[in-house]
Amino acid sequence: MASFTIVGGGIAGASTAYHLARKGHQVTVYDRADTGQATDASAGIICPWVSQRRNKKWYRLVKESAKYYPDFIARLQEETGLDTGYRREGSISLFKDDHVQSLAFDRISAKKPDAPEMGEVRMVSREEVKQMHPDLTGLYPGVFVEGGGQVKGASLLKALKAGFLKHGGEWITADFDAEKSEGTVIYATGAWGIEQDTDPKIRHQRSEVLHFKLKDGMKEDHAPVVMALGPIYIVEMGLNQYAIGTTHEDTESFSAEPSAENHEYLRGLAHRYFPDSEIEDVKMMVGLKPYTRDFLPFLGKVEEDVFVINGMGATGLTASPFVGHEVAAHLSGEETTLDISDYSYI
């Protein structure tokens, strides 16, 4: 068995720590709990098949990750007794008209033979959208994907940490002190990866999400996640309570203060998608999403005994459980499903 020091306890670091500790390695995590941690702010859609992104390496990673989720969550919840907020109520992608809906249906359903975990994929009319989600606008037709799901980033992180401790890991809430490192050091420092001298260069995008309640909400059971027009999504956070996002802002600032302008923009969107409801704000969440220059996660050795996991971008909550599984196998000298060298591209 080997020793590992993991720097950063967001979803990427915590998942890797958990999977390494399960294999019996000696693992210590240092986490500074910076304000703006992406995992804490994330809304948590797990539905990679509907994306229009064409990068094959990225798609392979997120597709395998979505497949891994159900068993991974069942095991983690059993080990810890904690709820992660993971649910698969399906997803509805909305489109501006019937023509675009039909093209999207062809594109999305073509992925199913290679990803049976998508479940049923079908076109839904405006009326069916209203039946599935009565408070939502009936303006747009959609495509329903049965396997679409969601997870709460903060709850999943809590469960991973509990599972990690149960498997004998040590979690230290502090800045990493290189003098104290043992064995291989794994940097999973998210947006703060810029503080390390090693490649890859990390930049970040600030994203804001509005959590709100529908005062007169009609939903009596769980709602599917909604991919609205453009990059907008709506995720249920509780009965008749939702998160709508997200804004995207390239920045060098590490401020995680919500902005009045983004708040107003997101409130406007909430009114547009729930036009007949009275909306009550709950909170704004701000997170800093880490990216590499080509938007692909980086998983690889950068120096002797130094490994980096970063650049998880907009789909890090989807990808990180499986990334942790794969990196733990790789660093234990075991076979992996992914070719890790596809993601070690400096």
Ligand X SMILES: Cc1cc2nc3c(=O)[nH]c(=O)nc-3n(C[C@H](O)[C@H](O)[C@H](O)COP(=O)(O)OP(=O)(O)OC[C@H]3O[C@@H](n4cnc5c(N)ncnc54)[C@H](O)[C@@H]3O)c2cc1C
Q: Which residues bind ligand X (CB under 6 A)?
A: 7-13, 30-34, 37-39, 41-45, 153, 175-176, 188-192, 207, 209, 245-246, 287, 289-290, 312-318
Backbone phi, then psi, for 41, in 5-degree steps?
Answer: -85, -15
CB of 276 to ligand X, least distance (A): 26
* Beta bridge partners of residue 211, listed in sequence order: 243, 283
Question: How is residue 56 written in tokens?
Answer: 């094959």
Indicate the residue among 240 and 318 with the shorter CB distance to ligand X: 318
Tell me how far, at minimum, the Cβ of 274 lies from ligand X, in Å. Answer: 19
Beta bridge partners of 29: 6, 171
Residue 174 CB-half CA count within 13 A: 9
Give the residue with the Cβ less far from ligand X, 47 or 124.
47
b (16+ CB within 10 A) / e for 209-243:
bbbbbbeebebeeebbbbbbeeebbbbbbeebbbb
CB of 101 to ligand X, least distance (A): 22
91, 117 Cβ separation under 8 angstroms? no
Output the smallest distance, CB 153 to ligand X, in A: 6
CB of 15 to ligand X, least distance (A): 8
Residue 224: name the closest of 60, 94, 115, 65 by CA: 94
Tokens read off for 171: 């979690």
Whose Cβ is closer to ligand X: residue 179's or residue 220's?
179
Closer residue to ligand X (CB): 105 or 192: 192
Q: How far is the CB of 283 from ligand X (least distance, A)?
A: 12
CB nearer to ligand X: give 63 or 289: 289
Q: Which is nearer to ligand X, 99 or 283 (CB)?
A: 283
Alpha-carbon distance of 31 to 23, in angstroms, equals 21
Nearer to ligand X, 1 or 178 (CB): 178
Position of tokens 């995590």? 29
44, 11 Cβ separation under 8 angstroms: no
Least spacing, CB of residue 252 vs ligand X, in Å: 16
